[in-house]
Amino acid sequence: MTTTRTLPGSVREPLLSVAFEVGGKSWKLGMTSGFGTRPWVTSVVAGDWAAVRRVLVRAKARFGLSATAPVVSCYEAGRDGFWIHRALIGEGIGNRVVDSASIEVNRRARRAKTDRLDARKLVLMLVRVLLGEEGVWREVHVPSTADEAARHRSRERTQLVQDRTRLINQMRSWLATWGARLPARRGAGWWTAVRDWAGVPLPGEVQARLARAEARLAVIATQLTALAGAQAAAAKCAPAASAQGRLVRLKGIAATGASVLLEEGLVWRGFRNRREVGGMLGFGPLPYQSGEQARDQGIDRAGNRRWRAISIQLAWNWVQWQPTSVLAQWYRRRFGGGGARLRRVGIVAVARKLLIALWRYATTGQVPAGAILKTA
């Protein structure tokens, strides 16, 4: 059997480190037993766990490890989600899911990029993490199966709203090419009453296309109504002491906003402090300082984009429906007298502070200062 040479002075760890470079048809496995040991990279068919087990047995023999040596693995979060993580845990393998955007890369304008090189690099980074080095990468918090499934409801609603907006914009564009406008109020068969620039009805082909688009809009409207009803029912049935029951009691927080916050992880991510909450939101400051150069690059936008969208909406609602709260008064005092741009900048600050306050309220029951609760 081919053996892997260990360089002098290396530190051998009594475990096998494995990095999975996940692809649609095959997986590359990069393996090593520690620093100074050249990684071994091989391929298996995607999802073939029997082949993965055989490769791990070979790798332990290759690196001189005992058959019972523990195995630690990692892979980049991506299209496959977390089922691979759960399968690895089921195999008795300690696994880490890595945020792809946090992996360091060569800053040269052109660099070699292959799955084999990625697997090799990832397993060496895993060794650094296992030896206690900090800041190597960021890891993704893996939700439970129930929490992951629950996210589909709010995400489907977001997608349906985007589809509805896209269809309406398309119909406006189609009508604009004929010098017509989309009516604000549209009844049954409205496209037959639309006139072009010359005052004549639209061609039959255009009317047929508008009719099909309107039919798709009707399906979307039905599905949105069903989802909204399900969210409202869940909020109504939620215990008063639960996170959802608390959030919907706040004036300005509806069932949809509370659902998005909770399903995207306001509670199950297990935040330990307000900085982690702000970091997940992506509204943290991003300074740049090099020598005598120093400037502010704005916010990093590295968090959950669904949280960013809903937090801005909730911030505007909070300023409107919670005028006596400390946060709303701070916003009006600091930004209320400025122009539209300054108010938009200020609402981002409100969104960050509000999300932290809602996290505290959902997890500990600490009501935001000055907030108004809905009457039963």
What is the spatial distance between Cα 210 and Cα 172, in angstroms, rounded to a whole number?
10
| Mean per-residue pLDDT, 314-322 | 94
Between 106 and 320, whose confidence is greater? Answer: 320
List pLDDT tens digits, range 159-208. Answer: 999 999 999 999 999 999 999 999 999 999 999 999 999 999 999 999 99
pLDDT of 34 > 70? The answer is yes
Q: What is the mean pLDDT of the chain?
A: 89
- Predicted confidence band at 376 (pLDDT cuts at 50, 70, 90)? low
% of residues, the chain, pLDDT over 90: 68
Q: What is the pLDDT of residue 345?
A: 87
Q: What is the pLDDT of residue 6?
A: 44
pLDDT of 47 > 60? The answer is yes
CATH superfamily of 16-130: ATPase, nucleotide binding domain (3.30.420.40)
| Mean per-residue pLDDT, 54-72 | 94
List pLDDT tens digits, range 346-370. Answer: 999 999 999 999 999 999 999 999 9
**pTM of the entire structure?**
0.82
| Mean per-residue pLDDT, 35-58 | 94
